[in-house]
Chains A and B, each alone.
Chain A
């Protein structure tokens, strides 16, 4: 059985490295994208199981990608992971399957991803 593939989109390179290390050790295949264009390319060419998406990116908004994903692949789980909790007030963010406020403790993010995917891989 193949590992579920997670796509992390964040403009913080070291954060992507952290996600790669931490989620690989949890048994996931991890893809990372630092901008919207890279994320779109990966989504087009790979079968990802879930997307972990930052909202405030260096060039553009993660909410834009969220809308695209939900328009084309409504069943693909998307977890919004952002430093600013109040983005939850934005209607666009309500399309997401879950919303996690960034923390150095990845326990909540891991649990949320797992919940979105179903049983542990």
Chain B
């Protein structure tokens, strides 16, 4: 089996597979170690804004030797009227376990160090490796599983058909079942066992597992809510854009097509009956020329408006500070979820710039959201964002800085060019949008190195006279 990089320690090898060699006392499972593991996994789950990250953290917590030490763990989630295998961690069989654990003994690493910043490719590879088992674990009619409210150990004779099915698929002698109950249904279930070591699952470990799964359930609920909010936001923007485009099309049709219809129609009339119009020919030619002139003028205006989008920009003298305050306040719940410290630095007096309040809000939303997402996805220690309003002689600057990693090479040359994203499910258009909005207000945006090593975006707006 090809070994995967970044895969955490899978099991506390109290006894190496095949028996015989025991592991050092320092690696053995203990109450304090269990507590530390619970704290570290719970911290990751509390901050997780991505379902895969949350699921990965929980399953690693269950299987890592430094965690609960199960040999393997599976997550099944309710999908319509069935429970579907979603993610798994651990070896698939004894032979694989021997290889993986031997490898991990030679490459000791802290499996919890980068739980929140795990490479999505690692999760995808683990899911693909277990795809066949995950598919077989699926169970139609999850209401049949809605009988247990606490974690328990299931065996082949268990009265619940779900449990018998899972025990059979996994050929497990003692399967720890951690249900994730929602009102009236099972939202999901985590299964774990010691199919290689056959270690007995103690009540303490079962309870600790239930704690992790409970935290996972909360994290999954939160990520679903965040996803819904993001989808809603995206739909609103699309609707706004569609409305604006429709209005532009209507205007184009009315203001340009009408005079062209006049010019063409009159010309056709002249051609169809030249004798009738002989006496009024100069006037009719004048009508044609005038109509074409109007169409040309209106088309030029519309093109200019579309290009610069100035028609929709109501740039007015505006005290930037309160606008920034509103945006930051709106983002505080998300920042708190990710344990990101957000500081706002405002001048004592007003900082009045020429700006459109709505577009300015959107620019700062984009920059701030970008920073928070980066910090949460990269697992930056002590993550922090600083938003500052800095009045200058000719400009008012809005600085949004974060202490996350520097921009990746693909973004360094021109972060605002668009088409490159470092975020999961990112469009790569956020910073491009900021540039366009800034320019439509007569300002500009840059990214510069902060002396403290932070990544700093600076939006400069014209200072009001």
User: Which of A's residues lie within 8 Å of B, judged by CB?
Assistant: 12, 14-15, 17-18, 21-22, 25, 56, 82-86, 102-106
Contacts and interface: CB of A to CB of B under 8 A. Distances in A.
Contact of B264 (A56, A82, A86, A104): A104
Given A84-B249, A86-B246, A102 B257 contact: yes
Interface stretch (B73-81, B221-229, B265-273, B305-313): B265-273
B87 interface: no
B282 to A, nearest CB: 15
8 contacts: A14-B287, A18-B262, A18-B265, A84-B254, A85-B253, A103-B264, A104-B263, A105-B265
Interface of B: 246, 249-250, 253-254, 257-269, 273, 276, 287, 290-291
Contacts of B254: 56, 83-84
A104 B268 contact: yes
Contacts of A103: 261, 264-265
Given A22-B265, A104-B267, A104-B268, A14 B273 contact: no
Nearest to B280: A21
Q: Which of B250, B259, B276, B290 has the most CB of A within 10 A?
A: B250
Nearest to B270: A21
A107 B453 CA distance: 71
B265 A25 contact: no
Nearest to A22: B269
Q: Which of B262, B263, B273, B287 has the most CB of A within 10 A?
A: B262
Contacts of A84: 249-250, 253-254, 257
B249 A102 contact: no
B287 A17 contact: yes
A105 B261 CA distance: 8
A106 B268 CA distance: 9
A102 B287 contact: no
Nearest to A57: B254
Contacts of B287: 14, 17
Contacts of B249: 84, 86
Nearest to A13: B262
Interface of B is mostly: helix
Contact of B262 (A12, A82, A85): A12
A106 B265 contact: yes
B39 to A, nearest CB: 58
B263 to A, nearest CB: 7
B269 A21 contact: yes
A14 to B, nearest CB: 4
Contacts of B265: 15, 18, 22, 103-106
A18 B269 contact: yes
Given A25-B273, A56-B250, A84-B250, A18 B258 contact: no
Nearest to B277: A21
Contacts of A12: 258-259, 262
Contacts of B262: 12, 14-15, 18, 104
B261 A102 contact: yes
A3 B401 CA distance: 77
Nearest 9 pairs of A and B residues by beta carbon: A104-B264, A84-B253, A83-B257, A83-B253, A14-B262, A18-B265, A104-B265, A102-B261, A56-B254
Contacts of B266: 14, 18
Given A83-B253, A84-B250, A84-B253, A15 B258 contact: yes
Contacts of A56: 250, 254
Nearest to B267: A104
Contacts of B246: 86
Contacts of A17: 287
Nearest to A19: B265
Given A14-B259, A56-B254, A104-B261, 20 more contacts: A14-B291, A15-B261, A15-B262, A17-B287, A18-B265, A21-B269, A25-B273, A82-B253, A83-B254, A84-B249, A84-B250, A85-B253, A86-B246, A86-B249, A102-B257, A102-B258, A104-B263, A104-B268, A105-B268, A106-B268
A21 B258 CA distance: 17
Contacts of A25: 273, 276
B252 to A, nearest CB: 8
Nearest to B250: A84
A86 B247 CA distance: 11
A83 B269 contact: no
Nearest to B283: A17
Nearest to B266: A18
Contact of B260 (A22, A86, A104): A104
Q: Which of B253, B263, B265, B287 has the most CB of A within 10 A?
A: B265
B271 to A, nearest CB: 11
Contacts of A106: 265, 268
